[in-house]
């Protein structure tokens, strides 16, 4: 994926269609931040009343009041119920999770691959989406990549996925799996639901302040709690660590130590092959979150030196490769 192009068969996305007059206003009152413009997409976050992370969804805006909400496979029932329970009369919410598959096609040669297989407009920028054909089959292309490289998600009917996948392989893409994707996303500092993102943490503690709009008029769940936390200052901070690990990278919920005290925990860890380092994501006490701070990560009983990094991706910090 760093040098060429890869493909990941990822059929497990949950996807919901939300339509009807007032759908946009409904979502504005549910999520902590803003909505994308028509033809674009972005992440949206849902908060508990206490300002903690309830869930994350990708919000794809098809029309003024027409949205496709995409979320993790394991969040299908959880996230559908969040929307359904609050849904006002007159809006339609439909679960299409079992009807479609998806593939991630990513790497610096991804555009060249699609130029030979698709009639899509490949000049559209990052966070756009479009209907197109791929290998002669109808598909929906989203210009995003959880791997942190130039790429598209290809969403299609289940019956069409084998033909599209085979054509992508025949065009030169190399298959990769979830372990590789985990390494790639950690190098970018991308969070995962129920790992890095859960009700254990507030949105501010998880470093998601840019997805919160306290100045919008809607009184979304958790707004008052987030405002209070912002005024007082978060007690924890989300950090990226480069770890001097041995035979194992930091697993979920490894203790982070400083001067003989536990000051936090890891939420995920892996080896970053593009940056040639062992990386951990996690939360620590706010007073030890400054870049350059030295801590220790306990990995299966072994104390491993680690250094807090700047609040930016380790790989392609300017997102130039994503936007290429």
Record the pTM: 0.96
| Tens digit of each residue's pLDDT, the chain (324 residues) | 999 999 999 988 999 999 999 999 999 999 999 999 999 999 999 999 999 999 999 999 999 999 999 999 999 999 999 999 999 999 999 999 999 999 999 999 999 999 999 999 999 999 999 999 999 999 999 999 999 999 999 999 999 999 999 999 999 999 999 999 999 999 999 999 999 999 999 999 999 999 999 999 999 999 999 999 999 999 999 999 999 999 999 999 999 999 999 999 999 999 999 999 999 999 999 999 999 999 999 999 999 999 999 999 999 999 999 999
Q: In degrees to the nearest 10, what's the CA dihedral of 125, 74, 18, 224?
A: -90
Q: How far, in Å, CA of 92 to CA of 84, rounded?
A: 9
Contacts within 8 Å (CB) and 24+ apart, 253-257: 254/280, 254/282, 254/297, 254/298, 254/299, 255/297, 255/298, 256/282, 256/284, 256/295, 256/296, 256/297, 256/298, 256/306, 257/295, 257/296, 257/297, 257/298, 257/303
Q: How far, in Å, CA of 119 to CA of 80, rounded?
A: 33
pLDDT (0 to 100) of residue 139? 98
pLDDT (0 to 100) of residue 100? 96
pLDDT (0 to 100) of residue 114? 98
Going from the N-terminus, what domains does the chain have, and what CATH number goes with each?
A: 1-233 (3.30.1360.120), 235-313 (2.40.30.110)
Q: How far, in Å, CA of 94 to CA of 167, rounded?
A: 31
């Amino acid at each position: 994926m760093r040098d060429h192009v890869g493909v990941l068969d990822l059929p497990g996305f949950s996807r919901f269609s939300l339509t009807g007059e007032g759908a946009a206003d409904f979502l504005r009152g549910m999520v902590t931040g803003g909505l994308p413009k028509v033809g674009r997409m972005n992440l949206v976050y849902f908060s508990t009343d206490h300002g903690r992370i309830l869930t994350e969804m990708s919000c794809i805006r098809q029309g003024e009041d027409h949205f496709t909400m995409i979320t993790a496979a394991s969040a299908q029932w959880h996230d559908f119920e969040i929307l359904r329970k609050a849904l006002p009369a007159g809006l339609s919410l439909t679960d299409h999770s079992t009807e479609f598959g998806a593939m991630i096609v990513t790497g610096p040669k991804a555009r060249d691959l699609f130029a030979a297989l698709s009639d899509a407009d490949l000049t559209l920028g990052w966070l756009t989406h479009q209907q197109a054909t791929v290998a002669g089959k109808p598909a929906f292309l989203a210009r995003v990549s959880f791997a942190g490289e130039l790429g598209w998600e290809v969403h299609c009917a289940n019956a069409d996925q084998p033909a599209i996948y085979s054509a992508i392989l025949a065009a030169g893409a190399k298959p990769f799996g979830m372990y590789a994707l985990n390494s790639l996303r950690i190098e970018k500092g991308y969070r995962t639901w129920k790992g890095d993102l859960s009700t254990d943490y507030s949105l501010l503690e998880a470093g998601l302040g840019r997805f919160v709009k306290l100045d919008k008029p809607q009184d979304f769940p958790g707004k008052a709690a987030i405002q209070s936390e912002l005024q007082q200052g978060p007690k924890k901070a989300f950090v990226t660590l480069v770890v001097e690990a041995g035979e194992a990278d930091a697993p979920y919920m490894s203790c982070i130590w400083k001067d003989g005290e536990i000051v936090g925990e890891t939420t995920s860890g892996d080896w970053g092959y593009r940056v040639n380092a062992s990386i951990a994501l996690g939360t620590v006490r706010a007073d030890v979150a400054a870049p350059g701070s030295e801590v220790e990560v306990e990995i299966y009983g072994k104390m491993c030196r680690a250094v807090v990094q700047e609040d930016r991706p380790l790989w392609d910090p300017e997102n130039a490769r994503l936007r290429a």
